[in-house]
Structure 1
């Protein structure tokens, strides 16, 4: 049984023969290894084009911004998995990445799609950025959904990573429609939501990356690639300074059982 369209059996990313390996039109050994940094190679792999210096600058910046933030859920899952299965380093990395969802880590993609939809509405001529942003917020609130890219449980005065990325965007002149929509959302929140909220890093990252030309469909890959580096670091530490079972025990102590208990015979 066929699932989906399968009439174009092609790939333009990589091929090889007995003497060479070609990646995106470049000879891997002659043009890439030892000559291209990994961030540029990542951009080339995803888009088919080498990044400009500004694109590389922002790709490096966002990868650094989202890679590490302490014992977040993805890291906890990874370290606890490694504690239980130390033979499965790859499985522990995978366990951390599998939690990349709409609330934590993968929320940059959710925010990016939201901003891109609103930008598309503005392009269609159905309202100003401020009007479209306000309607977008009202729609989310009616559905009892959070505003993607806003608020932070710790950085209530402003996420320093987001503030820096947006300052860099201003400095390098790459503020476009998506950052503009991010600002329009920020500005309408006091009236539509009843209070202001700070832009968080998962709001700044997609706005910046979309404005420098990174594809919307690959946005989640930024978070996945960056967090993989962090997970490897945490697992390396777990091997010599294990805390996986400590975290597991702390979780058991922190949660109170309120179910029925068996009656003694």
Structure 2
């Protein structure tokens, strides 16, 4: 008889969804070992996010820097697909949770995933530096591989609306301030700026860091792995999604599509034609 077969039904049930995140029983809620009542009123929301994901409480400075990154990416207006979807869903009469879920579900590789891609890119360079390669050489080698075998834009650079993303310089400035105080070491900021400089040298024009690249710097400095960067972006953008879904739900418009009803799409299919057999002689 196997060990699994020897266990009682209760033991099997308790192990089915075993977790190191939360302990809960009647009258007891503990997050990572901390009583919830001890956390309430003493720990900020960014600090709770850190605790849930990392298992330990951050320092006040670490929580503050995480909150800065989360706050920077909350919204980018109804032209952003996720925000537009939330608003359209709200006009269809669904609940606010459905509107939010509809929006969050489109935060994928193209819309919402660039931060994860940027941090992975930075991580490749950081690994080369740890192996003894100089910063400039590591950046150049990684860009060589990117331009030789990968498609699209260098992750974390450029913006389709902003010549310079107004969020990125401020985030880098704050990252440098936290590094100067010893909260972080600043290596990912160095890497991001070196990438920006090398791409500018190769292309003959500057393609500035964007919000995804700048928040990836902070998440990397704070020790978050790349996949969590996407999840943190979802948490951040959910604030804007909620705000827009709520605002739209307070308006009277119904079944609002992506364009005003007097603007129709461009039809590119077959021109009008008769149904086979209609109008033929002898019919």
Q: TM-score range by the shorter chain?
A: 0.7 to 0.9
Q: Residues 247 and 135 (structure 1 numbering): CA distance in 2 closer, same or farther, change over 3 Å?
A: farther
Q: Do structure 1's residue 17 and structure 2's residue 25 form an aligned pair?
A: yes
- Specify which of 134, 140, 144 is matched with residue 138 of structure 1: 144
Q: Is the 8 A contact 1:83 1:238 kept in 2?
A: yes
State how many pairs are aligned.
255
Q: Do structure 1's residue 204 and structure 2's residue 202 form an aligned pair?
A: no
CA distance in 1, matches of 2:103, 2:86: 5
CA distance in 2, matches of 1:102, 1:175: 29
SS at match of 2:30: strand
Partner in structure 2 of residue 218 of structure 1: 228
Q: Is the 8 A contact 1:79 1:244 kept in 2?
A: no
Could you tell me which runs of 5 or more consecutive residues in structure 2 were left unpaired when the two chains were aligned: 1-14, 279-283
Q: Is the 8 A contact 1:138 1:192 kept in 2?
A: no
CA distance in 2, matches of 1:209, 1:243: 39
Which structure carries more helix by proportion?
A: 1
- Specify which of 166, 169, 174 is matched with residue 172 of structure 2: 166
Task: Report the TM-score when normalising by structure 1.
Answer: 0.88
Following superposition of structure 1 onto structure 2, how do residues 87-98 of structure 1 map, counting pairs within 5 Å? 87-98=94-105
Q: Residues 186 and 251 (structure 1 numbering): CA distance in 2 closer, same or farther, change over 3 Å?
A: farther
CA distance in 1, matches of 2:261, 2:23: 48
- Deviation, 1:149, is 0.5
Point out the structure with max Rg over C-alpha: 2
CA distance in 1, matches of 2:175, 2:18: 37
- Deviation, 1:123, is 1.4
Q: Is the 8 A contact 1:169 1:175 kept in 2?
A: no
- Deviation, 1:243, is 6.1
- Deviation, 1:66, is 0.3
